[in-house]
Amino acid sequence: MRSVGIKVLRNKLSEYVRLAASGETVPVTHRNRVVAELRPPSDRGASASDAKWAELIRRGVVTPARNKTGTPPPRLPAVMSFEEKMRDLDDSREDR
């Protein structure tokens, strides 16, 4: 994550606004101390839990899912049935 000093921000504001518009959060520093953040706008209709998730994502604690369609990934075919797996498990335990 890039940070920018106030003086540089003043001179290159449009560049940093474009970064924020693309989804990046840019910390603004004054004398090597973060005093503000330039970030994309939040959803006005979002719930409190959405805001908490957004904060965790912003801090890097949570990584959002890559699948944005909302559909689960396709299931892989079963290698063996549950009954076959249980028999196999019982067979492997017989020698104990």
Residue 12 confidence (pLDDT):
94
Inter-residue contact 26 to 20 (CB < 8 Å): yes
Residue 84 confidence (pLDDT):
94
pTM of the model: 0.45
Residue 83 confidence (pLDDT):
94
Q: How many angstroms separate the most distant Cα atoms in the chain? A: 76
Residue 8 confidence (pLDDT):
94
Q: Domains (ranges, CATH) in the chain? A: 1-62 (3.40.1620.10)
CA distance 37 to 6: 11
Residue 46 confidence (pLDDT):
61
DSSP single-letter state for residue 96: -
Cα-flanking dihedrals φ and ψ of residue 8, to 5°? Answer: -70, -40
10-residue averages of pLDDT along the chain (96 residues): 89 92 90 90 68 84 80 85 93 82
CA distance 18 to 2: 13
